């Protein structure tokens, strides 16, 4: 009969038939139904319960952590919302200041450019050689053109040097020098003053 069924029970006729199909826990854990709740099974069940309990504890801890973080986040969102109007105002002010600065800088630059240009024209006029006169001056963005008359050709060289002294980065060169048909011994000249160097 083996160790699973008592011989006396079979001999007395108490046991007449055997159920050879094992119950679900028995099938699961490889134990006979009658002896299902044995030591091994206890350990197994305990292990599974422990696993479930561990998972449950883990779940509680995680839920608690998430709740804590949610709380922190809500507090921060409220603070951020409270700071928003002042920050927006500061942003608008910054943008306005940048615009005003651009305007001021552009105006200052425009004035400086005009003063520089008029100063240069005045300097040319002031430092013209004694017997040299300008009849026209064209002030382009990068290149100026000076037209005039001079009594002596050598004075044109002096004028070219003067232009270089006024703006050392520039390049002044004689475009043409022709005898004036109306006045003897006078030279009509055209000088190009390249200021883009």
Partner 1 sequence: MNAAKRITLVTGVVMLGGYFLVFRPAEATIAERSLDIERQTDLIERRTTAARGGPALEREQRKLRNELTHVHLRGDRAVLVDGFLIAAAAAAAQRDIHITQVAANASTAIQRRATAPAQPSLAPATFDEVALDLNLRGTYADILGIVRDLTRSTTAARISIDSLTRYDRRVNERTQVTALIHATLLREHDEIPPVRPRPT
Minimum CB–partner distance for residue 182 and partner 1 (Å): 12
Q: Are 36 and 25 in contact (CB under 8 A)?
A: yes
Residue 115: burial class (beta carbons within 10 Å; 0-12, 13-18, 19+): exposed
Residues 6 or more apart in contact with residue 135 via CB below 8 angstroms: 147, 148, 149
Burial 74-84 (b: 16+ CB within 10 A, else e): eeeeeeeeeee
Minimal distance, residue 116 CB to partner 1, in Å: 10
Among 1, 11, 97, 153, binds partner 1 (CB under 8 A): 97
Binding mask 157-186 for partner 1 (x = CB under 8 A): ------------------------------
Cβ atoms of 150 and 187 within 8 Å: the answer is: yes
Nearer to partner 1, 29 or 171 (CB): 29
Binding residues (CB under 8 A) for partner 1: these are 28-31, 40-41, 43-44, 47-48, 50-52, 54-55, 58-59, 62-63, 65-66, 69-70, 72-73, 76-77, 79-80, 83-84, 86-87, 89-91, 93-94, 96-97, 99-104, 106-107, 110-111, 113-115, 117-118, 121-122, 125, 133-139, 141
């Amino acid at each position: 009969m083996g160790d699973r069924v008592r011989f006396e029970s079979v001999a007395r006729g108490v046991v007449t038939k055997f159920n050879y199909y094992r119950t679900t826990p028995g099938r699961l854990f490889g134990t006979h139904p009658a002896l299902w709740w044995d030591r091994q099974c206890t350990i197994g069940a305990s292990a599974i319960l422990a696993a479930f309990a561990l998972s449950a504890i883990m779940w509680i801890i995680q839920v608690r952590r998430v709740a804590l973080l949610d709380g922190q986040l809500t507090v921060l969102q409220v603070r951020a919302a409270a700071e928003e109007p002042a920050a927006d105002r500061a942003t608008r002010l910054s943008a306005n200041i940048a615009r005003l600065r651009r305007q001021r800088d552009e105006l200052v630059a425009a004035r400086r450019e005009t003063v520089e240009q008029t100063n240069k024209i005045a300097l040319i006029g002031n430092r013209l050689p004694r017997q040299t006169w300008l009849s026209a001056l064209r002030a382009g963005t990068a290149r100026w053109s000076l037209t005039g008359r001079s009594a002596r050709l050598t004075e044109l060289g002096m004028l070219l040097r003067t232009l270089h002294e006024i703006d050392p980065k520039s390049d002044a060169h004689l475009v043409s020098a022709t005898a004036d048909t109306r006045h003897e011994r006078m030279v009509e000249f055209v000088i190009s003053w390249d200021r883009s160097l």
